[in-house]
Structure 1
């Protein structure tokens, strides 16, 4: 892989706008890869329901079995040019990607009530049914074992934190500044 490849990693809270950020970078010519999509595909192949809990559990199992950076190792094999890599949730994934090309990690966040409303509108089964449940699930994702999800650690490792609490246009302007 060419050492000049530009990689943008996305981490952040559920419903914060990581998918919108990824779509923006795709329009700018970045290839798109999602670590959680890799887990989704695995669950589907195994005939298991794709829920947020199953995604977390299966991701943790993969990290336990094959190492905490396994998802990053698998995705980097697919990267040929500049790319945006979504759903980074373990510090070992961040460290692995930092060693491959020019890499920046963006942490995307927004107020919890706004994120909950976005998650509900998205209609994914893995989203919580109440704000309280949403907050509880989020706390579980924030800190975990070395081989589990450690979203808080990833967010503190970010090169830049972007608060997505305005319009989509405002968000795009913030993202543009990273290029």
Structure 2
């Protein structure tokens, strides 16, 4: 089983990935590939810089390049979780894998903003208005840019992460059970 995770900023993708890792899933993150590249170039690891770098890498090497790099590492006998899917071409590349399911994680903008503030990452907006404005800029439809809204629309299943962590984990378990039955 291969689970891909997509969704808006601070929706709970990282928590979903951590939970699935605790269940024995092998973990890959498309953003980790960008972080490695940023470190190699001595670029600060801010959200803004990673978005810019991702757009640049996709522009030079094709919009599915990050997913293509991960698919080379996948062996079908294990369970995998692939985090940070942000471009429709990445989804198209991952759909070529047997047993791939895309889970979309979502929550209200207010809840996501609250989580973003709590995690205190460099470059995260300080006001709800800035948060919303930044998201609009991040969703400009171009084949090489990240397009979180379009990725969420392509999800096979959606989980609304609007309650406790325990409730979120229960919802993930329910979706995994649905996938196993299919």
**How would you bin the TM-score normalised by the shorter chain?**
over 0.9
- The structure 2 residue matched to 1:56, chosen from 51, 58, 67, is 51
Cα RMSD for the two superposed structures:
1.0
- The structure 1 residue matched to 2:19, chosen from 24, 33, 40, is 24
Shift in Å at residue 126 of structure 1? 3.3
Counterparts of 1:177 and 1:141 in 2: how far apart (Å)? Answer: 31
Shift in Å at residue 143 of structure 1? 3.0
Matches within 5 A, 1:1-179: 6-80=1-75, 81-179=78-176
SS for the counterpart of 1:114 is: helix
- Residues 1-56 of structure 1 show CA distances to partners (whole Å, capped at 9, x for unaligned) of xxxxx110000011111011001111111011111111111111111111111111
Q: Is the 8 A contact 1:143 1:150 kept in 2?
A: yes
Number of aligned residue pairs: give it.
Answer: 174
Shift in Å at residue 144 of structure 1? 2.5
Shift in Å at residue 58 of structure 1? 0.4
Counterparts of 2:120 and 2:36 in 1: how far apart (Å)? Answer: 19
Extract unaligned runs of 5+ from structure 1.
1-5
Counterparts of 2:94 and 2:106 in 1: how far apart (Å)? Answer: 21
SS for the counterpart of 2:175 is: coil
- What TM-score results when the alignment is normalised by the length of structure 1? 0.94
Counterparts of 1:126 and 1:70 in 2: how far apart (Å)? Answer: 25
